[in-house]
Amino acid sequence: MALSLPDLPYAKDALAPHVSAETLDFHHGKHHQKYVDVANEMIEGTDLANASLEEIVRAAHKSGNQGLFNNAAQIWNHNVYWLSMSPNGGGEPKAGSKVAAAIKDSFGSYGEFADAFKKAGATQFGSGWAWLVHKGGKLEVRKTPNAECPLTDDGATTLLTMDVWEHAYYLDYQNKRPDYMEHWLSHLANWDYAEQQLASV
């Protein structure tokens, strides 16, 4: 099959207590796997059967195939989400790093970025995502509903994403999305991954 579920880049209990092994078991092993299974069924026997995930997402978006887009984009979103977290993450990016300088240049300070990022997650009604992206020489905070993602925006490079669908946090935080977001930024945000992404621009 063209699409597969990637392994997590850390042990299932590595992000605890901020994101529990139980949450990752359901989120990665059930939700993410289901998107992979459905997308593979949808592309079987079509021109997209051997396309890359990125090609499938863009083609589905362009053609208006919402069902395929929803599943393929959610695969991509989750792939980025797992990489956006690290057991050794959180807090401000390393002083002297490109991403630290870009945050200061684009937002004024790390604190102002953090406020904007948490606001994006908090004000995304229902299910969706908060993003840190690079476009046009600047960093931007964005929010998107459901499966929507920056991959469909030419010239935008994703540095980090935070999942704010309820299944990302409900077992650990119940309805307290702000607590999840605070823990995510303070303890999990993978600035090394963001630095790698920024270096690729």
Q: Do the domains spanning 21-83 and 98-199 agree at the CATH topology level? A: no
Average pLDDT over residues 3-14: 98
Sheet hosting strand 157-163, strand order edge to edge: 138-145, 128-135, 157-163
CA 163 from chain center: how many Å? 6
Threshold 0.95, pTM exceeds: yes
pLDDT at 175: 96
Domain-by-domain residue ranges, the chain?
21-83, 98-199
Average pLDDT over residues 43-47: 96
Average pLDDT over residues 41-56: 96
Q: Which residues are CB-neighbours of 28 under 8 A, at least 6 positions away?
A: 5, 8, 12, 78, 82
Mean pLDDT of all residues in the chain? 97
Average pLDDT over residues 86-91: 98
Residue 28 marked ligand-binding: no
Burial of residue 197, with CB atoms counted within 10 A of its CB: 0-12 exposed, 13-18 middle, 19 or more buried: buried
Average pLDDT over residues 104-109: 98
Per CATH, domain 21-83 is 1.10.287.990: yes
- Taking the alpha carbons at both ends of the chain, their separation in whole angstroms is 30
Indicate whether 102 pLDDT > 80. Answer: yes
Provide the percentage of residues in the chain whose pLDDT is more than 70.
Answer: 100
Indicate whether 1 pLDDT > 80. Answer: no
pLDDT at 2: 85
Q: What is the CATH number of domain 98-199?
A: 3.55.40.20
Q: pLDDT tens for residues 125-160?
A: 999 999 999 999 999 999 999 999 999 998 999 999
Residue 78 marked ligand-binding: yes
